[in-house]
């Protein structure tokens, strides 16, 4: 062999060897390019390799080595780390790029945590300004499992308008506030799923260990035993609920009108930048809307099967390519509004040059249109996204059917059943939290409770147990800050019982757990919508807790919280935590207070501020025994402190409410 040949072979052999090394070492999705590692604590790096393989991890010029065990699992610890970056982390021949060190927070819960930034008040403007290379986002894809998984689906991204648009609005505003105040890199992990109860996010062992929570597991087991009959009953109940609360598609009229025909003119159609919700684009309707886009395809693709990928479409769609239907997602698909679309385009329809994609979207209620993150592209099957053509941007659209928006009663919707149902006990912890546990975090923010409002007394136990189960899994008592349910439904003329008030009380009781904080949102909800659009103040109020309690800044973390009370004749005096500078939001008299005697019948009370206390009375109650404030689904209440934060609803009695018998 000549010297020249040897010189050519050596680099080739090195590159082959490096490729083999990279192929052997595997990292979980949460450890990847653009990630943020937690500062000030030991950080675990872990993954898989061949059994017995040597693994060397290097970061910030420091290396640590280990050997994969018999199952191919390995882990090392690095740090504590100092804030900064960007840096590279190497694992054998694998290089993780653009890594920052700063503060990492997990954002979790149900739909109000999942709610995307683009669909908030001034969402388009906020998204357009969402460019920050030091705030990184990781969104965990939906998945459920009856057993703990090893990995999640997702990847880290640098904050840009495109990626921030469909990220958790509460998480984004929380992280942005921390960044503005702390000036350190921020990593946000969004692992949330709309409509899910807290038991789905709680470990099985934790549920099993509590007698109060055993009915949850018993009910689940009973549902499995009676699954065939239950499925029939569920289908009937769901059909009845949908008929009452949703618009049902009466038929596709646009196809007959030629809306999918590539030769039809779109001169009278409007334009919309996709992906986007109809409401965000100013179409405050339910019903059917058609979208069309012309795309120029390469000559080499002519006659070949292609794959069309679209973001989740809320709620249903029928999709066409060059006038021929290639796929549809309708009522038969559970949670169709959050399912990404992926349709095969037969090669017989594909030609070089101009091609036309048409999508009929039917919105049955609530939000509609192209939502959340995900791919919008077309390309050859098997070539990945590298060759795909992006379909983001302007599309033509035409309204086929405009209906007055419905206001569904989501609280009465029948609960789905089945082994794979995301509402089952522990399935979301197993799939969307357990794989994240080794990753070092500073703390958690949480927005959930709507799906447990009917079992508020049980939530008194369930919520703290869930928090403890997460802390036990991570092995340390991290901060856990959560959002109290916002106001919803119509206001009532007289004092009454309320399951939402009882759930808020259960959340307030959770403040007994160490290192917890509660953002009160009783003043920024929407009586007509369970998803209030003001997520900016939610994020800021959560950040106030973190800044005050976690980072030691001189910030008032909360509005007034009930501390104690005493009865003085025909009056009751209320004292508060965080009650300095009590005032009303409108400068008028206090509202929202009710008082009762031994007969337990509440009437609206006269209330006045006296220093840092409130004195409550009523001429109708000579011997009062109890006071309630803001005790309703949607109370009219106006007590604040000097920081401009609202008082939490409360009651001084412990009389059984509407959910006491439900477990």
In a domain, 188, yes or no: yes
Residue 363 sits in the same domain as residue 415: no
Sign of CA dihedral 400, 118, 271, 349: negative
558, 585, 620: which is the final residue of a domain? 558
Cα 524 from Cα 4, distance rounded (Å): 74
In a domain, 380, yes or no: yes
Residue 457 sits in the same domain as residue 533: yes
| Residue spans of beta strands (DSSP E) within 366-501 | 369-370, 377-380, 389-390, 393-403, 443-447, 480-483
Peptide bond into 267 cis (omega under 30): no
Residue 553 sits in the same domain as residue 418: yes
Q: Looking at the whole model, is its pTM more than 0.75?
A: yes
Return the CATH number at 103: 3.40.50.1110
Return the CATH number at 345: 2.60.120.260
In a domain, 70, yes or no: no
Cα 564 from Cα 464, distance rounded (Å): 22
Residue 532 sits in the same domain as residue 598: no
**Residue 20 confidence (pLDDT):** 40
Residue 368 sits in the same domain as residue 420: no
> What residues pair up with 107 in beta bridges, in sequence order?
190, 445
Cα 640 from Cα 605, distance rounded (Å): 18
**Residue 6 confidence (pLDDT):** 42
Count up the domains in the chain and report the number: 3
In a domain, 205, yes or no: yes
In a domain, 577, yes or no: yes
**Residue 420 confidence (pLDDT):** 72
Question: What is the tens place of the pLDDT at every residue in 566-613?
Answer: 999 999 999 999 999 999 999 999 999 999 999 999 999 999 999 999
Among 418, 448, 447, 453, which Cα is nearest to 662's?
A: 453
Cα 519 from Cα 529, distance rounded (Å): 19
In a domain, 191, yes or no: yes
Residue 304 sits in the same domain as residue 224: no
Q: Give me the residues of the chain with pLDDT under 50, please.
A: 1-23
Residue 388 sits in the same domain as residue 447: no
List C-alpha distances in Å: 459 to 220, 504, 505: 17, 10, 10
Residue 415 sits in the same domain as residue 551: yes
Tokens linked to 425: 């006990």
In a domain, 39, yes or no: no
In a domain, 173, yes or no: yes
Strand, helix or coil for residue 67? strand
Q: Quick one: angle between helices 214-225 and 456-474, nearest 10?
A: 100
Residue 275 sits in the same domain as residue 396: yes
558, 579, 600: which is the final residue of a domain? 558
Among 478, 465, 515, 421, which Cα is nearest to 203's?
A: 465
**Residue 427 confidence (pLDDT):** 96
403, 434, 461: which is the final residue of a domain? 403
**Residue 9 confidence (pLDDT):** 44
Residue 288 sits in the same domain as residue 350: yes
Residue 550 sits in the same domain as residue 420: yes
* Domain limits for position 229: 96-246+408-558
Residue 283 sits in the same domain as residue 331: yes
Peptide bond into 64 cis (omega under 30): no
In order, the DSSP letters of 132-150 are: EEEEEEEEPPP---SS--S
């Amino acid at each position: 062999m000549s010297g020249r040949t040897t010189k050519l072979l050596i680099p080739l052999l090195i590159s082959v060897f490096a490729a083999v090394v990279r192929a052997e070492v595997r990292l979980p999705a949460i450890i990847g390019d653009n990630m943020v590692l937690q500062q000030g604590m030991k950080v675990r790096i872990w993954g898989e390799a061949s059994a017995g393989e040597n693994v060397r991890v290097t970061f910030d010029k420091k290396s640590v080595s280990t050997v994969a065990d018999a199952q191919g699992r390995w882990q090392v610890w690095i740090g504590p780390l100092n804030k900064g970056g960007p840096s590279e982390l190497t694992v054998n021949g694998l290089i993780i790029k653009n890594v920052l060190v700063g503060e990492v927070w997990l954002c979790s819960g149900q739909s109000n945590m999942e709610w995307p930034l683009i669909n908030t008040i001034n969402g388009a403007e906020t998204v357009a300004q969402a460019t920050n290379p030091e705030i990184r986002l990781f969104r965990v894809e939906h998945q459920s499992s009856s057993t703990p998984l090893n990995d999640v689906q997702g990847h880290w991204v640098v904050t840009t308008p495109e990626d921030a648009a469909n990220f958790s609005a509460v998480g984004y505003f929380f992280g942005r506030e921390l960044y503005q105040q702390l000036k350190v890199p921020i990593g946000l992990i969004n692992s949330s799923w709309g409509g899910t109860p807290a038991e789905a996010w709680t470990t099985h062992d934790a549920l099993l260990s509590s007698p109060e929570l055993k009915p949850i597991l018993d009910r689940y087991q009973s549902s499995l035993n009676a699954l065939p009959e239950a499925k029939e009953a569920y289908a009937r109940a769901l059909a009845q609920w949908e008929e009452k609360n949703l618009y049902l598609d009466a038929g596709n009229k646009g196809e007959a009108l030629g809306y999918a025909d590539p030769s039809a003119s779109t001169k009278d159609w409007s334009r919309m930048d996709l992906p986007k919700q109809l409401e965000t684009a100013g179409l405050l309707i339910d019903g059917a809307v058609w979208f069309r886009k012309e795309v120029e395809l390469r000559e080499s693709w002519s006659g070949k099967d292609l794959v069309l990928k679209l973001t989740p479409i809320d709620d249903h769609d029928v999709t066409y390519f060059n006038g021929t239907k290639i796929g549809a997602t309708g009522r038969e698909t559970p949670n169709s509004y959050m399912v990404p679309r992926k349709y095969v385009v037969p090669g017989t329809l594909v030609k070089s040059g101009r091609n036309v994609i048409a999508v009929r979207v039917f919105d049955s209620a609530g939000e509609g249109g192209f939502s959340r993150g995900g791919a919008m592209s077309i390309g050859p099957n098997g070539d990945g996204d590298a060759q795909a053509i992006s379909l983001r941007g302007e599309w033509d659209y035409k309204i086929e059917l405009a209906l007055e928006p419905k206001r569904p009663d989501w609280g009465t919707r029948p609960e789905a059943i089945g082994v794979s149902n995301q509402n089952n006990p522990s399935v979301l912890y197993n799939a969307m939290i357990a794989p994240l546990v080794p990753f070092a975090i500073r703390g958690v923010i949480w927005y959930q409770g709507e799906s447990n409002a009917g079992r508020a007394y049980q939530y008194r136990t369930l919520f703290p147990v869930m928090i403890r189960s997460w802390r036990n899994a991570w092995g340390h008592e991290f901060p856990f800050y959560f959002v109290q349910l916002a106001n919803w439904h119509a206001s009532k003329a007289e004092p009454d019982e309320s399951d939402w008030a009882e759930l808020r009380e259960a959340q307030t009781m959770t403040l007994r757990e160490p290192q917890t904080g509660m953002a009160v949102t009783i003043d920024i909800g929407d009586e007509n919508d369970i998803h209030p659009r003001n997520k900016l103040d939610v994020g800021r109020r959560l950040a106030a807790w973190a800044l005050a309690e976690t980072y030691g800044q001189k910030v008032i973390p909360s509005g007034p919280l009930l501390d104690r009370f005493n009865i003085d004749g025909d009056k009751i005096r209320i004292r508060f935590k965080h009650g300095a500078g009590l005032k009303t939001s409108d400068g008028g008299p206090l509202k929202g207070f009710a008082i009762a005697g031994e007969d337990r019948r509440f009437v609206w009370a006269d209330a006045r501020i006296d220093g840092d206390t409130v004195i409550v009375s009523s001429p109708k109650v000579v011997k009062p025994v109890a006071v309630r404030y803001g005790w309703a689904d949607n109370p009219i209440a106006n007590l604040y402190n000097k920081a401009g934060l609202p008082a939490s609803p409360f009651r001084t009695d412990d009389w059984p409410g509407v959910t006491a018998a439900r477990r």
